[in-house]
Chain A
Amino acid sequence: MTSESAVGTRRVLVVDDDDSIREVAQMALEIVGGWQVFAAGSGTEALRRARAELPDAVLLDVMMPGMDGPTTFSQLHADPATCDIPVIFLTAKVQAGDRRAWTHLEIAGVIAKPFDPMTLAGEVSELLGWGP
């Protein structure tokens, strides 16, 4: 799932409970990155979409009502169908203590909010080692 898709287009799942952030991230990755993007507004929806779409990567908000990002990640990681999908935390919560709390999670990286929509695809590519 981490290699380039057979059709050559990256497929990414964006998960955020904030509609505007979800929409702008989706648009940025589609228009600037040229990727196929799926969106989910909650951890529960993210699990369902990840299992259905098997994306190449997941951008996952940390602080969401209901199932938060780390819990969603743990469930993705525990499922053989989705355990190999790299997950990037997309969050405004990036203090040193928070990063330490995530060290036991095998996440692919963290992108801080606020983010620049024009460079988001580049940041994701860099974290995942996706070439231009």
Chain B
Amino acid sequence: MSSAEDRSRAAFLSIGAQAKQSNLDRVAQLQDAVVRALDGHLDEAGRLAARRLAHTIAGSAGTFGFGQATGPAHHLEDLFAATPARPAELADACRWLDEIRAALASDPADDDY
């Protein structure tokens, strides 16, 4: 591995640690949105914010070695893209959130750096 790649890898790992925490924070916010949606209290602004959160996780997690989070994040993005969110899929949302948490709790895939 070249010196440039060594420096890149170290820098990416540092940024990746920050990204992991940011994505965990986003999951917590998405959990709140799911609860509000299940209660029928998620307004349009909340739906759009939830969609953006899921979209950000979908793009971010895999870039930093947590590729298993990408699929469930895309499912959540699609869920919150619908107006209104479909009740049957809302039931799946908690499982998708758990899958994202599990992916973020694992070690990042080494070959992503």
Q: Which residues on the B side are within 8 Å of A28 (C-beta)?
A: 8, 12
B8 interface neighbour in A32, A63, A65, A114, Cβ under 8 Å: A32
Q: Which residues on the B side are within 8 Å of A4 (C-beta)?
A: none
On chain B, the number of residues with a Cβ less than 8 Å from chain A's Cβ atoms is: 27
B101 at the interface (CB under 8 A from A): no
Contact B8 A18 (CB under 8 A): no
Q: Which residues on the B side are within 8 Å of A116 (C-beta)?
A: 63, 112
CA distance A21 to B57 in the complex (A): 11
B67 at the interface (CB under 8 A from A): yes
On chain A, the number of residues with a Cβ less than 8 Å from chain B's Cβ atoms is: 21
List, sorted by A's number, 10 A–B pairs whose CB atoms are closer than 8 Å. A19-B18, A21-B19, A27-B8, A27-B12, A27-B15, A63-B56, A65-B52, A92-B55, A92-B56, A114-B60
B62 interface neighbour in A18, A31, A63, A113, Cβ under 8 Å: A113
CA distance A12 to B68 in the complex (A): 30
Of chain A, the residue at the smallest CB distance from B56 is A18
A23 interface neighbour in B15, B58, B112, Cβ under 8 Å: B15
Interface string of B1-32 (1 = CB under 8 A from A): 00011011001100110110010000000000
A128 at the interface (CB under 8 A from B): no
Contact B67 A114 (CB under 8 A): yes
Contact B4 A32 (CB under 8 A): yes
